[in-house]
Structure 1
Amino acid sequence: MPEGHSIHRLARQLTDVFANQQLAVSSPQGRFTDGAALLHGHRLIRSFAHGKHLFAEFSNDLYLNVHLGIYGAFTFGGDERFTGASSIGAPRKIGEQEDHSQELSAKPPAPRPTTRARLVSEHGWADLVGPTICRVLTADEVARVRSQLGPDPLNPDADPQAFYARARKTSRPIGVALMDQKVISGVGNIFRAESLFRCGIDPFRPARECSSSELEALWGDNKHLLEIGVRVGRIITTEPADRPGVSEYEAWPEHANYVYHHQGQACLRCGSTIALQEVAGRKLYWCPGCQR
C-alpha cells in the first residue's frame, strides 16, 4: 500500500496538471458513474492529502476522495503541454519515473476494464484503477473524515500533541500504534520500521510506556523521512554516513533502508542480525541490538 509521501506527491501532481481547468470526468468501469456526473464539467481547484487519503476540490464545492488501498493507482498522460512542477521541484513530465518512450497525445487511450475514474483536460488525462475508496464528498463530510484520522506530519497544520495523546492511551506495542491511521496518518510499514530503528526504540514496548522525548523523536523523524519521500519519490531512510558516496537519489534499493527487507543481514550500525516477525498481520523488521 502506498505510504503517505506517495499520496502527497499525487496530490501535487494533480494540482500541477489540472488546477483551474475544466475536467471531463467519467467512470469507464461504471462503478463511479453517479459520482463522476457530479464532478463532470467543473474546474479542479486544488488537491491535497491527509495521510493515505487524497482529496480533490472542485469548483462546485464538492470533493473527490480517493484511498488507493493495496491495488489502487493513478496513471497520467498528455501532449507536450501536459507538464508541471513535480513533487521534487523540477518541471518535468508527471510521474514517479518518466517514460520518454511513451507517445505524447492529449487523447487518452482506450480505458482498461478496471478504470474506475477518468479525468480529462484539454492537454492530458489521468486514470484511476483499483482504489479502495472513490467517492464524492461535501466539505462537511471531508472535515468529518479528516477528524477521524490522526495528524499527518506532512501537513503544516498538523498537531503532534494529538499523536502523543493517542499513543499514551494505548497499551498496544508502539510498532502497532504507528500503523494505526487514527493515531498518526501516512506512516506505513517501511516508515514504521525505519523510524523505530533510527530512534532506537523497541517496537514491542507498549506505546503508553514511551517517554515524551521518544514520542517527539518518532514524530520528528517520521516527518523528516516523509519529506525525503516526497522530494525523492522513494523511501530513503539511511543517513549519508551509512552509505558513503551514494546520494539519496541513487540509494534505492540497495542502500535505501536499515532494517526493512534486511532480515538475516548484519545491522549497519551494531552488527546484530536484523530480525523479522509478523505482528498484527504485518511483517515487522527491527534490530535486537540497537532497539533494546
Structure 2
Amino acid sequence: MPEGHVIHRLARRLTEAFAGEPVAAASPQGRFSEGAALLHGRPLLAAEAHGKHLFAGFPAGWLHVHLGLYGKFAWGEPPAPAPVGQIRLRLVGEKAYCDLRGPTVCELLTPGEKDALHARLGPDPLRPDADPDRAWATVSRSRQPISALLMDQKVVSGVGNIYRAEVLFRHRIDPRKAGKDLTPREWKAIWADLVSLMADGVEAGRIDTVRPEHMPEAMGRPPRVDAHGGEVYVYRRAGLPCLVCGLAVRTESLQARNLFWCPGCQNSP
C-alpha cells in the first residue's frame, strides 16, 4: 500500500495537470459512472491528501480515493487511447490524462462528509494543520507497541511499514516498546523526523532514510536495489548486517505486517 508521501505527490500532480480547467471524466468500467457524470466538464478546484486518502475538489463535491493494496494511477499525454481493462475513473484535460484502476475507495463526498473523514484520521506529518499533541495523547496512554501505533491511521496518518521501521531505528527505539513507555522527548523526535523524512519523500518520489555517513558512497558498499524505496537501515534487510553496528537485522510479524529492527541499536534497556 502506498505510504503518505505518494498520495501527497498525487495531489500535487492532479493540481498541476487539471486545476482551473474543465476536465472530461468517465468511468469505462462503469462502477463510478454516476460520479463521473457529475465531474464531467467541470474544473478541478483543489486537490489535497490526508494520510493515505486523496481528495480532489470539484463543484459537485470532493472526489475521495483510497488506493488500498491494488489501486494505482497511470498518466499520459492526450489524446487518451481507447480504454483497456478495468478503469474505474478516467480524467482528461488539455495537458494530461490519468486512469485510476483498482482503488479500495472511489466516491464523491459532500464537504460535511469530507470533514467527518478528516476528524476520524490522525494527524498527518505532511499537513500544515497537523497537531502531534493529538497523537501523543493516544500514544502516551497506550499499552500497544509504538510500532503498531505508528501504523494506526487513527493515531498517525500516512505512515506505512517503511517509515515506521526506519524512524524507530533512527532514534534507537525498540519497536516493541509500549507507547506509554515513550518519553515526550522521544515522541517529539519521532514526529520531527517523520515530518522531515516524508517531506523529502514527496520531493524525491522515493524513501531514503540513511544518513550521509551510511550511504553507499561513504561506506563503499553497493546501492540498495528495491522498488519499494531507496537507501534504508532495516526495512526488508532481515538477516543482513546493520549498517551501524553490524548485527543481523531481525524481522517478525506484528498484526499481519512484517516488522524490521536491529537488536543491537534498538535494544530496550
- Alignment TM-score > 0.5, same fold: yes
* Equivalent residues of 2:55, 2:63 under 8 A apart: yes
For each residue in 1:179-199, what CA deviation from the matched residue of structure 2 results, as whole angstroms up to 9, or x when unmatched? 000000000000010000001
1:269 corresponds in structure 2 to 244
Q: Is the 8 A contact 2:7 2:51 kept in 1?
A: yes
Equivalence for 2:198: 226
Where in structure 2 are there 5+ consecutive unaligned residues? none
SS at match of 2:45: strand
- What is the CA–CA distance in structure 2 between the aligned matches of 1:169 and 1:111, rounded to whole Å? 51
Figure out how many residues of one structure are paired with residues of the other and give that number. 261
Q: Per-residue deviation at 1:28?
A: 0.4
Q: Which amino acid aligns with 1:256?
A: E
Distance apart, 1:242 and its partner CA: 0.6
Q: Distance in 1 between matches of 2:108 and 2:223?
A: 39
SS in 2 for 1:145: helix
Counterpart of 1:170 in structure 2 is 142
TM-score by length of 1: 0.86
Answering whether residue 255 of structure 2 is matched by residue 283 of structure 1, we say: no
| Aligned equivalents of 2:141, 2:36: Cα separation in 1 | 41
In terms of fraction of residues, the more helix-rich structure is: 2
Letter in 2 for 1:70: L
Say if 1:236 and 1:252, in contact at 8 Å, map to a contact too.
Answer: no
2:10 paired with 1:13: no
Alignment deviations for residues 194-235 of structure 1 (CA, whole Å, 9 cap, x no partner): 000001101001111111111111111111110111111101
One-letter amino acid of the counterpart of residue 66, structure 1: V
Going from structure 1 to structure 2, the CA distance change for 1:24 and 1:252 (only over 3 Å counts) comes to: farther
| Equivalent pair of 1:116/1:129 in contact (CA under 8 Å) | yes
Q: Distance in 1 between matches of 2:223 and 2:125?
A: 23
Alignment of 1:204-243 (within 5 A): 204-243=176-215
Rate the CA distance shift 1:66–1:41 in 2: closer, same or farther, 3 A. same
Shift in Å, 1:112 = 2.4
RMSD: 1.5
> Paired residue for 2:103?
131
What is residue 257 of structure 1 aligned with on the other side? 232
| 2: CA distance, partners of 1:166 / 1:215 | 12
Other-structure match for 1:37: 37
Q: Please tell me whether the aligned partners of residues 216 and 223 of structure 2 are also in contact (alpha carbons under 8 angstroms).
A: no
- Give the 4+ runs in structure 1 shifted more than 2 A: 250-255
Instruction: Give 1:124 shift.
Output: 2.4
Q: Does 1:121 align with 2:93?
A: yes
| Aligned mates of 1:161, 1:119 — CA distance in 2 | 38
Does residue 197 of structure 2 align to residue 197 of structure 1?
no
Distance 2:81 2:231 in 1: 35
1:54 maps to: 54
Gap runs ≥5 in structure 1: 79-105
TM-score normalized with structure 2 length: 0.94
User: Quick one: distance in 1 between partners of 2:144 and 2:223?
Assistant: 33
**Hey, what's the Cα distance between the residues in 2 that align with 1:149 and 1:220?**
19
State the match for 1:150 in structure 2: 122
Aligned residue for 1:245, secondary structure, equals helix
Relative distance call for 1:252 and 1:223 in structure 2 (3 A) is farther
CA displacement, residues 225-255 of structure 1 (integer Å, 9 cap, x when unaligned): 1011111110101011111537xxx965376
Any conservation in 1 of the 2:38–2:60 contact (CA below 8 Å)? no
1:73-127 Cα shifts (integer Å, max 9, x gaps): 011111xxxxxxxxxxxxxxxxxxxxxxxxxxx1111212210000011332110
